[in-house]
Amino acid sequence: MAFESLASRLQGAFDKLRGRGKIDETAVNEAMREVRLALLEADVNFKVVKEFIARVKERAVGQEVLKSLTPGQMVIKIVNEELTALMGGDVAKIAVANRPPTVVMMVGLQGAGKTTSTGKLAKHLQKQNRKPLLVAADIYRPAAIKQLQVLGEQIKAPVFSLGDQVSPVEIARQAIEHAKENHLDYVLIDTAGRLHIDEALMEELRQVREVAKPDEILLVVDAMTGQDAVNVAESFNQQLELTGVVLTKLDGDTRGGAALSVKAVTGKPIKFAAMGEKLDALEPFHPDRMASRILG
Ligand code: GDP
């Protein structure tokens, strides 16, 4: 299960605090050393860990904490609050355009789960009585268009495709027109991915962005890839100005680094978490719930 070893390491560190009536600064420092190691082992970005520990220590060694009746519990509560803050604090909701349709560009590297997440996001929106249009703008990966069409059929959402001979820019332009004419309120553009970030990919995405004027640019990253996911997010953000991240494969045994670092490193929140291959396995990302899950 995801975060398993992080969770048990943290619990180990806290058990020592919990059992004691009084604690002093040395005990807090000892526990924080273990928390630090646990986070590094979970593949959390080094700088993020350093700043996190500094923040927790600053709050935890305050007199009102150490002198309280349950200092151990209070330190754990501080860690919980700071973990929540690290992942963005509040739930970051998907944008709603003042005038429909709301345009969402889905971007990411091949295999991250972009096409699947596009289908899942459409289903999520349908549950909120929205009418999404799926747009097949990944014209390079041979099966991508068909894959989106199959997803569309499964959830009974319309799929806009012009085959693989029309440019993604033109597909996006016509898709938005189509959505307006048909009173569809979300346009989800499944853009092309590549195995690696390259200039041609970014240039094409910038051109689509120019025409589509998206309200959201969501980067889909695979949580299993740890710090690589964070590096990918940083590059995409520099090149495209993301509005948020969709973190996939949280059902796997990810150590947790991506979930814990991506917001701190890029400044962009995780908006959705995908926890399985099924179409309803996508949820808005709740930093507080994730923190509680990690702390067990
Ligand atoms: P794309 O190349 O980014 O469009 O990737 P796909 O959407 O085709 O997904 C690649 C693979 O990852 C597929 O086999 C998906 O079923 C799988 N996948 C996507 N999201 C998740 C997830 O949250 N959990 C799991 N276990 N598998 C996922």
pLDDT in tens, 24-36: 888 889 999 999 9
pLDDT at 174 over 90: yes
CB 54 within 8 A of CB 60: no
Q: Average pLDDT in the 171-191 region?
A: 98
- CA of 136 relative to ligand 1 center, distance in Å: 16
From 109, 139, 250, 277, the mutation candidate for ligand 1 (largest count of ligand atoms within 8 A of CB) is 277
User: Cα dist. 16→9, 32, 61, 294 in Å?
Assistant: 12, 11, 16, 18
The answer to whether the Cα torsion of 216, 235, 269, 144 is positive or negative is positive
Length of the chain: 296
State yes or no: ipTM above 0.95. Answer: yes
User: Cα dist. 82→29, 51, 291 in Å?
Assistant: 16, 11, 9
Distance CA 32, CA 82 (A): 13
Residue 55 annotated as part of some ligand binding site: no
The answer to whether the Cα torsion of 246, 250, 251, 252 is positive or negative is positive
pLDDT at 1 over 70: no
Residue 115 annotated as part of some ligand binding site: yes
Q: Average pLDDT in the 49-65 region?
A: 90
In the prediction, which pLDDT does 295 show? 86
pLDDT tens digit sequence for 188-243: 999 999 888 899 999 999 999 999 999 999 999 999 999 999 999 999 999 999 99
pLDDT tens digit sequence for 101-142: 999 999 999 999 999 999 999 999 999 999 999 999 999 988
Task: Give, using CA atoms, the residue closest to atom 9 of ligand 1.
Answer: 113
- CA of 278 relative to ligand 1 center, distance in Å: 10
- Nearest CA among 106, 85, 83 for reference residue 94: 106
- Nearest CA among 90, 120, 108 for reference residue 220: 108
Residue 14 burial by CB count (10 A; 0-12/13-18/19+): exposed, middle or buried?
buried
Percent of the chain with pLDDT over 90: 81
The residue with tokens 């070893």 is: 5
Q: Provide the mean pLDDT of the chain.
A: 94
- CA of 249 relative to ligand 1 center, distance in Å: 7
What global pTM score does this model have? 0.95
CB 117 within 8 A of CB 220: yes
Task: Give, using CA atoms, the residue closest to atom 12 of ligand 1.
Answer: 113
In the prediction, which pLDDT does 135 show? 98
Residue 149 annotated as part of some ligand binding site: no
Q: What are the phi and psi torsion angles at 88 (to 5°)?
A: 115, -5
In the prediction, which pLDDT does 58 show? 92
Residue 178 burial by CB count (10 A; 0-12/13-18/19+): exposed, middle or buried?
middle
